[in-house]
Amino acid sequence: MSKQPPKAMPNGAPSRKPPMDLKALGRLVKLLFTYYPVLIPLIIVCILFSAGAAAIPDIFIQKVIAIVAKYQPTMDLAGATAELVPQILFLVGAYAISLVAVVVQAQLSAIVTQGFLYKMRKDMFARMQRLPVRYFDTHKHGDIMSTYTNDIDTIRQLVSQSLPTAIRTLSVVVFVLCVMLYYSVWMTLVILAGVLVMSVVSKKIGGGSAKYFMRQQQSMGKTEGYVQEMMNGQKVVKVFSHEGKSAREFKAINEELFDDAYKAHAYANTLGPIIMNIGNILYVIVAVAGGLFLTLGAPNLSISGLAFEISIIVPFLNMTKQFTGNINQLSQQINSVVMALAGANRVFDLIDQQPETDDGYVTLVNVEVDEEGNIVETDKRSNIWAWKHPHQDGTLTYTLVRGDVRLVDVDFGYREDKTVLHGVSVYAEPGQKVAFVGATGAGKTTITNLINRFYDIADGKIRYDGININKIKKDDLRRSLGIVLQDTNLFSGSVMDNIRYGRLDATDQECIEASILVGADDFITRLPNGYDTLLSNNGANLSQGQRQLIAIARAAVADPPVMILDEATSSIDTHTEAIVQRGMDKLMEGRTVFVIAHRLSTVKNSDVIMVLEKGRIIERGSHDDLIEKKGKYYQLYTGAFELE
């Protein structure tokens, strides 16, 4: 196999510098209003109703005390009752409206939260499907999975809890502040002085927790990435008895997560008690200040013009608790917001990844050839393919797909500073079988990755039936190429579903015929439920050879004009290989085939064999020609020089 592209960072580790991007919060809010332009305003209105109701008891207390003080000297119970009843009815009505608002808000929030997460995951997956292969070669899959789980969950907490709570507490603070200013400016100034101290403490401690909460999200992604990697490679770990090594490496990563999480929660857990005790001290200060103002007969500066009396001091004490309590609750939301920002940054980083570009305009279509030799496009599956090529003058030309693939002086590197292929030229004529041999890292797989445009070349040309592949739409180009990789991937579902994955409109009979062709039908029919046998965990209940046979049948049912076999029989024993080879020979008839193999016995009958070394083709020719030259291929074939 060719050299894989280098990782973007050692071990895929994320940077330890936490990316604090407040734009992510604005972007989330904007998306919420975009997705739910009606429901979000309704939720905010419900929150404001419930927040407003929270300030009413303080007004009620002041009114009750004032009424009692008014009628106490005369002991006029009837008069006091007449004034108290409307106040009580108003309070009950306000609480009833608040209850309805809370219930409606809870129901609407559930709809918005789950719907928003559905749309976010949908956008993430849609973008991920359009990303180039390079992205997955340079990012740990477990870390990507963490974006779908942990990071999305932090956004859920933000949308369903933190944002509504923040809006409500902020609204309560504003409403209570207005009530306090209405009753007494002096007492309000005392409370605001205490709140200023709270704000300074919150900023100091909250800022520390924010930094570590963001690091915690990154460390969690790194931890999950390592766990998935170890799960996938568990057999290798056990074969080499590296359980201890894996445990030590996980311990180091886990300790990093522990350190970040511990510091984050240590800061967060400290903030609450400190703010609460500052609130208690402020309560005492307000009580003392109120007593002094009342004793000294200080003039009451207020909007209401009410005299400074006990009916103002008592509700002020209650408002002090309420005000500081909501300030404390608001400060606690900082941690959730920060975690959500860290998660949102990672989610948006995935969504904002540059998708795979495709400037192609030549498409692959089914055609028929009439009696006069004219090529006519058809919607039916004719098994005759052509390249539909629109031109600038508005005309269309159809070129029959023959499988003529040519690479001319191709240079390529996975990184700009390191070239992997140097001036590679390959000429595969229709129906030819072209084999690539050479040591691991010589560039064999890289060439096939360039043919199907998983990567784009740095210099040179690649032409398919005389058309520059950059002009061919990538989907159409890849539909014309059947690929069997060394690493087999089977999906959850039946054996039939996995074979049909090669062509989704294939009938059951076509899938069975493809299996018979490559020699897979024999073992499939002996499975518990035959073609309906369910596979899971990448076909863990099958042998490696059986999994590979299903992958080959998948390529066969696609019936492409060009086949790429990348170590297609490397995991099959020699007996099974002989069976598969006969089926492969039938499959390859009339097709251009590129074969990569370490077993030189599998490439003997190739029309052209190309020997690669360090990204250059050093020999080419048929098996007999290369043996006669007694060069590198001769050394490889006779065992004088091992591929590995």
> Does some domain include residue 357?
no
Decide if 466 contacts 625 (C-beta within 8 A).
Answer: no
Euclidean distance between CA atoms 27 and 208, whole angstroms: 24
The verdict on 242 and 281 lying in the same domain is yes
Amino acid at 231: M
Residue 396 sits in which domain range?
Answer: 363-400
Domain boundary, last residue among 312, 328, 351: 351
Task: Give the torsion sign (CA, 504, 507, 509, 513).
Answer: negative
Q: Which of 342, 372, 400 is the last residue of a domain?
A: 400
DSSP run (H or E) holding 436: strand 433-437
Q: Give the mean model confidence (pLDDT) for residues 373-389.
A: 87
pLDDT band, very low/low/confident/very high, at 209 (cuts 50, 70, 90): low
pLDDT at 245: 80
Rg (CA), the chain: 36
Tokens of 453: 């445009």
Q: Is the pLDDT of residue 362 over 90?
A: yes
Higher pLDDT, 361 or 13: 361
As a whole number, mean pLDDT of residues 40-57 equals 86
> 379 pLDDT band (50/70/90 cuts)?
confident
According to DSSP, the β-strands at 608-613 and 433-437 are parallel
Q: What is the CATH number of the domain that holds 67?
A: 1.20.1560.10
Clarify whether residues 465 and 393 are in a common domain: no
13 in a structural domain: no
- Shared domain for 201 and 116, answered yes or no, is yes
Q: What percent of the chain has pLDDT above 90?
A: 20
What is the C-alpha separation between 282 and 507, in angstroms, rounded? Answer: 77
Pair (433, 378) in one structural domain: no
In a domain, 6, yes or no: no
Do 504 and 600 share a domain, yes or no?
yes
Classify 194 as helix, strand or coil.
helix
Average pLDDT of the chain? 82
User: What are the tens digits of pLDDT across the range 518-535?
Assistant: 888 989 999 999 999 998
Q: What is the pLDDT at residue 463?
A: 94
Residue 332 belongs to some domain of the structure? yes
Judgement on whether residues 302 and 372 belong to the same structural domain of the protein: no
Confidence class for position 641, pLDDT limits 50, 70, 90: very low
User: Comparing C-alpha atoms, which of 602, 600, 574, 598 is closest to residue 588?
Assistant: 602
Q: What is the pLDDT of residues 463-484, one digit of tens each?
A: 999 999 999 999 999 989 888 8
CATH number for position 433: 3.40.50.300
pLDDT for res 17: 44
Residues 526, 379 within the same domain: no
Same domain, residue pair 239 and 257: yes
More confident position, 302 or 630: 630
**Closest alpha carbon to 455 in 177, 136, 176:** 136
How far is Cα 284 from Cα 16, in angstroms, rounded to an integer?
44
* Residues 430 and 368 reside in one and the same domain: no
* 313 and 251, same domain (yes or no): yes
Mean pLDDT of 175-204: 80
- Output the six-digit token pair for 187: 């007492």
Q: Is 438 part of any domain?
A: yes
pLDDT at residue 14, rounded to an integer: 41
Q: Read off the pLDDT of residues 111-157 as tens digits, 9 standing for 90 and up.
A: 999 999 999 999 999 898 888 888 888 887 878 888 888 889 889 98
Separation between Cα atoms, residue 620 and residue 617, nearest integer Å: 7
Contact 303, 180 (CB under 8 A): no
Give residue-wise pLDDT tens across range 559-605.
888 988 887 666 666 776 776 677 677 677 778 999 887 677 778 88
Instruction: Identify the residue with better confidence: 167 or 279.
Output: 167
* Contact predicate 617/424, CB 8 Å: yes
Give me the pLDDT at residue 307, please.
65
Q: For the chain, what's the residue count?
A: 644
The reply to whether 7 falls in a domain is: no
426-472 tens-digit pLDDT:
999 998 999 998 888 888 889 988 998 989 998 999 999 999 999 99
Q: Is the per-residue pLDDT at 52 higher than 70?
A: yes
Same domain assignment for residues 419 and 454: yes
Closest Cα to residue 328, out of 242, 398, 268, 392? 268
Q: Residue 285: inside a domain, yes or no?
A: yes
Answer yes or no: are the C-beta atoms of 67 and 310 closer than 8 Å: no
The whole-angstrom separation of Cα 312 and Cα 61 is 9
1 pLDDT more than 60: no
Q: Is residue 508 scored above 90 in pLDDT?
A: yes
> Which class for 610: exposed (0-12), middle (13-18), buried (19 or more C-beta within 10 A)?
buried
Number of compact structural domains in the chain: 3
What is the model's pLDDT at position 235?
61
DSSP letters for 265-298: HHHHHHHHHHHHHHHHHHHHHHHHHHHHHHHHT-
Indicate if 310 and 427 belong to the same structural domain: no
Give me the helices (H) in 297-382, please.
310-351
Q: Where residue 643 falls among pLDDT bands split at 50, 70, 90?
A: very low
Q: pLDDT at residue 15 above 50? A: no
At residue 265, the pLDDT reads 72
Q: Which of 17-21, 56-60, 590-594 has the lowest mean pLDDT?
A: 17-21
Instruction: Report d(CA 594, CA 592) in Å as an integer.
Output: 7
Considering the domain boundaries, does residue 14 fall inside one?
no
State the average pLDDT over residues 32-48: 91
- What span, in angstroms and rounded, lies between the C-alpha atoms of 444 and 109? 54
Tell me, what's the pLDDT at 18?
Answer: 44
Residue whose C-alpha is closest to residue 230's, from 216, 206, 246:
246
Whether pLDDT at 332 is above 80: no
pTM value?
A: 0.71
- Sequence-separated (6 or more) residues with CB below 8 Å from residue 399: 386, 387, 389, 465, 466, 467
pLDDT at 2 (0 to 100): 40
